[in-house]
Structure 1
Amino acid sequence: MEPEKISEGRVVAFIDIGTNSVRLLLVRINPNGSYQPLTKQKETVRLGEKEFIDRILQPQAMERAAVVCKKFVELARAYGAEEVIAVATSATRDASNKVQFLEMLKKEAYLEVCPISGIEEARLIYLGVSSGLRLGYSKALFIDIGGGSTEVSIGDQNQHYFLHSFNLGAIRLTNMFLPDETGPVSEERYEQIKAYIRRKSANIIKELSRYRIGCAVGSSGTIENLAKIAFVYLRKAGHESFEKLEYEDLKKIVRAMCALPLEERRKFPGINAQRADIILAGSAIIETLMEELELPEITVSKRGLREGLLVDYISKSEFSYMVTQMSVRKRSIMQLGLACNFDEEHAHIVTRLALELFDSIQALGVHEFKESERELLEYGATLHDIGTFLSYDTHQAHAYHLIRESSLPGFQPEEIEIIANLAYFHRKNTPKKKHPNLEGLSKEAVKSVRLLSALLRIAEGLDRSHTGIISHVRFYIASTDSLVLEMHAREECQLEIWEVEKQKKYFKKMFGYNLQSKVLIEQAAGAPLIFEGSAEVEKVPRE
Structure 2
Amino acid sequence: MLQPLNGPRLAAFIDLGTNSVRLLIVRVNPNHSYHVLSEQKETVRLGAEAFVLRKLQPEAMDRAVVALRQFAEMARRMGVEEIVAVATAATREAQNRRIFIDKVRREAGLEMKVISGPEEARLIYRGVSSTMDLKGRTALFIDIGGGSTELALGDGGDPRFLDSLKLGAIRVTNEFLGDASEAVGNQLYEVMLRHVRHLSVRAVERLTRLPFQLTVGSSGTIESLAQLEAANFGGDGATVSAEGLGRVARLIYSLPIAERRKVAGLNPARADIIIGGVAILQGLMSGLKIDRVSVSGRGLKDGLLADWLGRTEAGRASADLSLRERGVFQFGRSVNFDEPHARTVARIALELFDSGRAIGIHRRNDAERELLYFAALLHDCGAFLSYHNHHAHGHYFIRNADLLGFTQEELEVMAVTVLFHRKEYPRKKVHPEFAALDPKAQDAVRVLCVLLRMAESLDRSHSGVVKKAEFREGTDGTVALELTADRDCSLEYWGVRRHHKAFEKSFGRRLTESCAWVSEPEVNPPRRRKAQEPSARPPRSGPKKATPKG
For residues 428 and 275 of structure 1, what CA distance do their matches in structure 2 show? 56
Matched, 1:82 2:81: yes
Matches within 5 A, 1:410-429: 410-429=405-424
Secondary structure, aligned partner of 1:15: strand
Structure 2 regions of 5+ residues with no counterpart?
519-528
**How far is 1:85 from its partner?**
0.8
Q: Which residue of 2 aligns with 1:473?
A: 469
Q: Which residue of 2 aligns with 1:206?
A: 205
**Shift in alpha-carbon separation, 1:262–1:379, aligned structure 2, 3 A:** same
Matches within 5 A, 1:523-538: 525=530, 532-533=538-539, 534=542, 536=545, 538=547
Q: Which residue of 1 aligns with 2:525?
A: none
Which of 392, 398, 405 pairs up with 2:393? 398
Answer whether contact 2:514 2:549 (CA < 8 A) is retained: no
Q: Which residue of 2 aligns with 1:451?
A: 447
Answer whether contact 1:129 1:301 (CA < 8 A) is retained: yes
Matched, 1:461 2:457: yes
Q: Which residue of 1 aligns with 2:303?
A: 308
Segment of structure 1 superposing worse, 423-432 or 218-227: 423-432
Secondary structure, aligned partner of 1:319: helix
Matched, 1:522 2:522: no
For residues 307 and 531 of structure 2, what CA distance do their matches in structure 1 show? 58
Answer whether contact 2:4 2:314 (CA < 8 A) is retained: no
**Shift in alpha-carbon separation, 1:538–1:482, aligned structure 2, 3 A:** closer
Secondary structure, aligned partner of 1:384: coil
**Shift in alpha-carbon separation, 1:230–1:451, aligned structure 2, 3 A:** farther
User: CA offsets per residue over residues 439-463 of structure 1, 9 Å max, x none?
Assistant: 7765544443343223212212222
Q: Which residue of 2 aligns with 1:484?
A: 480
Q: Which residue of 1 aligns with 2:122?
A: 123
Q: Which residue of 1 aligns with 2:72?
A: 73
**How far is 1:214 from its partner?**
2.3
The letter of the residue matching 2:377 is T
The letter of the residue matching 1:13 is A
**How far is 1:483 from its partner?**
2.5
Matched, 1:276 2:271: yes
Q: For the aligned residues, what is the CA RMSD?
A: 2.6
Identity of aligned residues (%): 44
**How far is 1:70 from its partner?**
0.7
Matched, 1:149 2:148: yes
**Shift in alpha-carbon separation, 1:526–1:334, aligned structure 2, 3 A:** closer
Q: Which residue of 2 aligns with 1:368?
A: 363
Runs of 4+ with deviation above 6 angstroms: 528-531
- State how many pairs are aligned: 535
For residues 529 and 204 of structure 1, what CA distance do their matches in structure 2 show? 69
**How far is 1:137 from its partner?**
4.6
Answer whether contact 2:503 2:511 (CA < 8 A) is retained: no
Q: TM-score, length-normalised on structure 1?
A: 0.91
Higher percent of residues as strand: 1
The letter of the residue matching 1:485 is L
For residues 112 and 261 of structure 2, what CA distance do their matches in structure 1 show? 33
Answer whether contact 2:515 2:533 (CA < 8 A) is retained: no
User: CA offsets per residue over residues 449-503 of structure 1, 9 Å max, x none?
Assistant: 3432232122122223323233221222337864333333455555545543443
**Shift in alpha-carbon separation, 1:233–1:494, aligned structure 2, 3 A:** farther
For residues 525 and 264 of structure 1, what CA distance do their matches in structure 2 show? 86
Matches within 5 A, 1:342-361: 342-361=337-356
**Shift in alpha-carbon separation, 1:194–1:528, aligned structure 2, 3 A:** closer
Segment of structure 1 superposing worse, 414-423 or 164-173: 414-423
User: CA offsets per residue over residues 214-265 of structure 1, 9 Å max, x none?
Assistant: 21111111112222333343445xx5xx333222222233333334332333
Q: Which residue of 2 aligns with 1:326?
A: 321
**How far is 1:128 from its partner?**
1.0
Which of 363, 379, 383 pairs up with 2:378? 383
For residues 140 and 205 of structure 1, what CA distance do their matches in structure 2 show? 15
**Shift in alpha-carbon separation, 1:529–1:219, aligned structure 2, 3 A:** closer
User: CA offsets per residue over residues 139-189 of structure 1, 9 Å max, x none?
Assistant: 211111101000001112221111100000111111112223334333333
Structure 1 regions of 5+ residues with no counterpart?
none
**Shift in alpha-carbon separation, 1:6–1:503, aligned structure 2, 3 A:** same
Secondary structure, aligned partner of 2:21: strand
For residues 529 and 465 of structure 1, what CA distance do their matches in structure 2 show? 15
For residues 280 and 413 of structure 1, what CA distance do their matches in structure 2 show? 37
Secondary structure, aligned partner of 2:81: strand
User: CA offsets per residue over residues 114-153 of structure 1, 9 Å max, x none?
Assistant: 1111011011111111111123653211111101000001
Secondary structure, aligned partner of 2:162: strand
Answer whether contact 2:143 2:150 (CA < 8 A) is retained: yes
Q: Which residue of 2 aligns with 1:99?
A: 98
For residues 475 and 532 of structure 2, what CA distance do their matches in structure 1 show? 28
Answer whether contact 1:504 1:514 (CA < 8 A) is retained: no
For residues 171 and 461 of structure 1, what CA distance do their matches in structure 2 show? 62
